Amino acid sequence: MAYLTQPDYVKYICSCGQLKPITNLYFCRHCLKIRCGFCICHEVDSHYCANCLENMPSSEARLKKNRCSSCFACPSCFHTLSTRATLARDPAGGDGKPPKKMYYLSCFNCRWTSRDVGIPDQPVASGGWPERTNPFTTRFNQLLDYYKAIAQQEKQEKLDKERKKFVTRGKYINLTDKTGLTGAMARNIAGLPSSESSSSVISNFVPSQASPDVEELPDDYHLKEIDLKQITRISQRTSCPELQPSLASRLSPRPRALCVKRSQRCRACDHNLTKPEYNPGSVKFKIELLAYYHVPEVKIISYETIKPGGTSALLLKLSNPTAHEMTVKMLQPEDVPDQEDEHKTIEKTLEKSLNLEKDISWNASFPRRPPPPNAGSVNLPAVSLTLAQRDDAAEYDDEPPGDNDDIILWRKSNKLALRLKLTTDAQAKVGSNAYFSFALQYSYRNTVPPSATVVQHSDHTLYTTLILDLGKVCE
């Protein structure tokens, strides 16, 4: 159960040990494991502007410094600025000329306008807004050239070393011997800067030097009263690192930062867990392996107050989100069979030996934080419960809630309400968090064939552990 504004009362334990509500979890259909944002690989698919929805490839985005060229953000509160039109009167007394439309930028959140800092109104809506030039542009370019030259040199050295190795090993004729083409000529033909010029960039580079002369502070520095409305906040300064305006009158509109669409990938098997549609206007996914569609969902209906040493009733609702019938059994968390074979099986795969960059040792290096201590235990029925498949049409049927006994309160379509008993420890401290945990064993039918040759469905028995947050232990 997850809410936008309330805490998450039911949390699932991810295969990496994190506690997350079901809406924040993914389910890898290939590993049959629950994954979360912490233990998967995030990849940038595309860059876009969230305001004008312009889409651009990453190379173009890098060229534009990851900012949109037509949208601006408020330098005061970082909200998107809107363009407003006014009718400008001719200051020289109208000679019957129609008033001209002029545009300025304005923030609907903090009411900042481009007029506040003296930026003149523009005759066209789309911009031509004056840009403040970075006072360190030359130094920036110097540094850029220097690092490019160093990268070039290192690459060249590596190549030379490799070639030497090659020459000593065999008696092959290299390109220069055969054609008389030297490395410098080849670089020239390929349009690369010659090694001489890159070395000159490196030798001519002047490192920045610290100077002992520091500008004196003005005499009234400590005496002058500060007007907080005139000076900028830290966040306003850091939003514009190259200028860092200290006065509110020096703020200027910032091109809006781009957003990215991400796709998520399982780190263990490299399959995509989510893949969004490319179009930035679309909120749909091409691949969407969310736990919400595959793992039985548990919601708390109600519970009695938790008292130390007492028993209280707990009503839970289970629902089956899959299109197949599901058998669910409740277990104590310690009865879940150990499934720590993940690392071994993966190491065995050929994939691992081919792709050296992929390293799952990170998984082992994070010690699993033990789940919060339980305030007691849930008395679980030793029966298997069958949950019907999800049927969207059943929502409209007025079928009365079906069979009930002392455990099942009611049953409707793919949902089931359970009546359980909680036993709270006598030592549970009054005022401490009342956490209860249990595990679910559920059957899962995987409709994705493991390979093209095997077409049949495969049924699996999977486990997941949940933690219920039932408020505080009361007296």
Q: Which residues bind other proteins (CB under 8 A)?
A: 76-77, 109-113, 115-116, 229, 233, 248
Is residue 345 helix, strand or coil?
A: helix
Give whichever of 254 and 412 is closer to other proteins, judged by the CB atom: 254
For residues 55 to 94, the per-residue mask of contacts with Zn ion, x marking binding by CB under 5 A and - elsewhere, is -------------x--x--x-xx-x---------------
Pick what 300 binds: other proteins, Zn ion, none; C-beta below 5 to 8 Å, kind-dependent.
Answer: none
Minimum distance from residue 254 beta carbon to other proteins (Å) = 16
Pick what 31 binds: other proteins, Zn ion, none; C-beta below 5 to 8 Å, kind-dependent.
Answer: Zn ion
| Residue 137 dihedral angles phi and psi, to the nearest 5° | -55, -45
461: DSSP letter: E
Minimum distance from residue 116 beta carbon to other proteins (Å) = 4
Minimum distance from residue 120 beta carbon to other proteins (Å) = 14
Pick what 423 binds: other proteins, Zn ion, none; C-beta below 5 to 8 Å, kind-dependent.
Answer: none
Give whichever of 78 and 146 is closer to other proteins, judged by the CB atom: 78
Pick what 68 binds: Zn ion, other proteins, none; C-beta below 5 to 8 Å, kind-dependent.
Answer: Zn ion
- Binding to Zn ion by residue 1, rule CB under 5 A? no
CB 17 within 8 A of CB 368: yes
CB 467 within 8 A of CB 435: yes
- The footprint of Zn ion on residues 105-124 (CB under 5 A) is 107, 109-110, 112
Give whichever of 93 and 170 is closer to other proteins, judged by the CB atom: 93
- Binding to Zn ion by residue 266, rule CB under 5 A? yes
CA distances (Å), origin 283, targets 49, 288, 411, 420: 14, 12, 34, 39
| Residue 211 dihedral angles phi and psi, to the nearest 5° | -115, 140
Nearest to 470 by CA among 262, 310, 300, 339: 300
CB atoms closer than 10 angstroms to residue 81: 25
Give whichever of 235 and 458 is closer to other proteins, judged by the CB atom: 235
In DSSP notation, 60-76 reads: HHHHTTTEEEEEEE-TT
In DSSP notation, 62-123 reads: HHTTTEEEEEEE-TTT-PBPEEEEEEEPPTT--SSPPPEEEEEEE-TTT--BGGGGTPPPBS
Minimum distance from residue 51 beta carbon to other proteins (Å) = 19
Minimum distance from residue 259 beta carbon to Zn ion (Å) = 10
How many residues sit in the footprint of Zn ion (CB under 5 A)?
Answer: 25
Pick what 36 binds: Zn ion, other proteins, none; C-beta below 5 to 8 Å, kind-dependent.
Answer: Zn ion
Give whichever of 197 and 235 is closer to other proteins, judged by the CB atom: 235
Give whichever of 116 and 425 is closer to other proteins, judged by the CB atom: 116
In DSSP notation, 206-255 reads: ------S--PPPPTTTTTSPP-TTTBPPHHHHHTSTTT---BGGG--PEE
For residues 11 to 50, the per-residue mask of contacts with Zn ion, x marking binding by CB under 5 A and - elsewhere, is ---x-x-x---------x-xx----x-xx---------x-
Pick what 233 binds: Zn ion, other proteins, none; C-beta below 5 to 8 Å, kind-dependent.
Answer: other proteins
> 268-286 burial by CB neighbour count: b if 16+ within 10 A, else e?
beeebbbbbeeebeeeeee
Give whichever of 164 and 233 is closer to other proteins, judged by the CB atom: 233
CB 306 within 8 A of CB 424: yes
Residues that bind Zn ion (CB under 5 A): 14, 16, 18, 28, 30-31, 36, 38-39, 49, 51-52, 68, 71, 74, 76-77, 79, 107, 109-110, 112, 266, 268-269
